[in-house]
Structure 1
Amino acid sequence: MAGRQPALGVLGADPRLMRARAAALLALAVLAGCSSTPDADAPTDAPASAPTSAPTSAPTSAPTATATAVREPQDRACHRMSYAEAVAPTTATAPVPCEDPHTSMTYAVGRLDAVVGGHLLAVDSARVQEQVAADCPRRLGAFLGGDRAALRLSMLRSVWFTPTVEESDSGADWFRCDVVALSGPERLAPLTGRLAGVLDRPEAAERWAMCGTAGPDAADFRRVPCSAPHAWRAVSVVDLEGRSAGGDYPGATAAREAGQAPCEAAGRAAAEDPLSFEWGYEWPSAAQWTAGMTFGRCWVPD
């Protein structure tokens, strides 16, 4: 099925990295852990199998026609799903009580705009899927509160679902937006507490803030919520969109240079000794830029 959403990790996992240490007024930048290999997108669907030849004799009885029930998603419903289920284009998971363990919550339900030029597009067409891929992330900020930087410095992400082709053929025209929280590479964290407006409440937002198990250039670096044991914290965002021409990737050099001054300043501000401190910076590859990571992040020891 077309339109599979990108792996959640694309929006912030293993970008190009820099960590630097400043000591006695001498900033020694060390480039380490740079990777030009972008994150893999979510796996594509397997190709359809080749059609088999028609039977040589007619069937003894006509097949019984069955109708596919048209189901409607429930806004503010909670679901217990795995990472693989969360990044799939469709879902069959049933809601669970929000007091029970769950890993996703529906924050918006909308209607597909599948008619273009008087023609009805398939639910798995690129045009329909692109609509949902734009609408759900846009609606997430309004649900969680805070500003765009707060969302980019959190472990909360948007995932989305549409009907199956069979359900669409039976009249289903909805799309569903869920919020999930990452707890590590391809792992979802259990959701707790009230998520609506959570980024407007500093104490509640702290649970979902983005931290790291080590410096961002370290081999054992892993992104975790700040409520988990951690050693570094993402503290600010470097917006790179102003450095792009027409929305295109500005290039690795421009993206890297854009974060030097603001991330060094963030490291100095967070340090007890302004003459001896560390800071880290991560910026997107071209593939990550296309997937939506049009910004860098500054990191400091925590």
Structure 2
Amino acid sequence: MSRPTRALAATVVALLLSLSAGCSADDDAPQEAAPSASPKPTATAVPGPAKGACYRMSFEGALAATTQADEVPCTQEHTAQTYLVGTLDTLVDGHLLAVDSDRVLGDIAETCPSRLLDLVGGTREDVRLSMLRPVWFTPTLAQADAGASWFRCDVIAVAGQERLAPLTGRIAGVLDSAEGRDRWGMCGTDQPDSPDFERVLCSAPHSWRAIEVVDLEPGRYPGADAVRDRGQTPCEDAGREVAEDALNFQWGYEWPTREQWRAGQTYGRCWAPD
């Protein structure tokens, strides 16, 4: 039997790694210078980012819309790696849009997540059950006024509450192997409705693991009760499948909140002790 529990409070990485959700478990995110003798200095367009470049970035830096982080050699410790560099589509119906307009940012927010799979391998479910996540950056307004028109997609790994993990080793195709899925998988320090729950990498000490994804019908958010109920049976079945005793086992279900749904998370996750 499952029971409804309180929502989990946590953080969101670039509107996609939403670390809060509902859970259930059983008992046992240029002005043109006026002509003058001494013209105003204008912003200088910075060189565009390079695909494959690495950066040492903080959790807060990864959440920002723009970044000034310096590139570091990928052989040194780093927490972000660029896997896609594209050109902003700012011209719509003959109108030039700002770099920070909803339309421009919305296009990037669709492109970067959809292309992460090309880098890390595995399946879409493997990515959703991992702590590897896409973040993206655009030029600053000053850089855009000076002609910069790029966007950049980076991969990061969330280590825990407001912490990033170093991206050690090869990331390309890492979720194609059981070892990679285990190393970068999503685990928890307790059952997901516990006040002591923290989401961590499966390579860190843990006691629960995200084991399956429950896809929900896209569209308008159907409400917490509906998304909660949708996952009860699939997650109970998934928990039974991995349990040593099919008659006495624990399982949990984490469903998307309305905010997460608006950010694109139209799925829930099943959990089991590990």
TM-score with structure 1 setting the length: 0.81
CA distance in 1 between partners of 2:16 and 2:257 (Å): 10
Matched AA of 1:264? E
Matched AA of 2:77? P
- 3-state SS of 2:136 partner: strand
Is 1:280 equivalent to 2:261 in the alignment? no
What is aligned with 1:13?
19
CA distance in 1 between partners of 2:248 and 2:199 (Å): 25
1:70-116 CA-to-partner distances (Å, cap 9, x unmatched) read: 32101001000101111101111111011101000000000011101
8 Å contact 2:45–2:144 — kept in the other structure? no
Residue of 109, 112, 121 corresponding to 2:85:
109
Matched AA of 1:258? R
User: Alpha-carbon deviation of 1:12?
Assistant: 3.3
CA separation of 1:112 and 1:94: change in aligned 2, threshold 3 A:
same
User: Alpha-carbon deviation of 1:130?
Assistant: 1.0
CA distance in 2 between partners of 1:260 and 1:176 (Å): 38
> Structure 1: any 5+ residue segments left out of the alignment?
1-5, 23-40, 42-60
For the aligned residue pairs, the C-alpha RMSD in angstroms reads 1.6
Residue of 135, 139, 156 corresponding to 1:180:
156
CA distance in 2 between partners of 1:65 and 1:16 (Å): 52
Residue of 49, 72, 78 corresponding to 2:48:
72
1:146-203 CA-to-partner distances (Å, cap 9, x unmatched) read: 1111110000110000011111111111000000000112111111111111111221
User: Alpha-carbon deviation of 1:64?
Assistant: 4.3
CA distance in 1 between partners of 2:104 and 2:144 (Å): 12
1:225-252 CA-to-partner distances (Å, cap 9, x unmatched) read: 00000000000000012xx5xx111221
Counterpart mapping for 1:93-108 below 5 A: 93-108=69-84
- 3-state SS of 1:234 partner: strand
TM-score with structure 2 setting the length: 0.89
Residue of 210, 213, 216 corresponding to 1:240:
216
User: Alpha-carbon deviation of 1:215?
Assistant: 0.5
Matched AA of 2:122? G
User: Alpha-carbon deviation of 1:9?
Assistant: 7.2
What is aligned with 1:252?
224
User: Alpha-carbon deviation of 1:62?
Assistant: 4.3
Is 1:225 equivalent to 2:220 in the alignment? no
CA distance in 1 between partners of 2:16 and 2:101 (Å): 22
Counterpart mapping for 1:98-137 below 5 A: 98-137=74-113
Residue of 196, 202, 215 corresponding to 2:191:
215
CA distance in 2 between partners of 1:150 and 1:98 (Å): 25
- 3-state SS of 1:157 partner: strand
- Which stretch shows the higher mean deviation, 104-113 or 194-203? 194-203
CA separation of 1:127 and 1:269: change in aligned 2, threshold 3 A:
same
CA distance in 1 between partners of 2:244 and 2:84 (Å): 43
Q: Percent identity?
A: 57
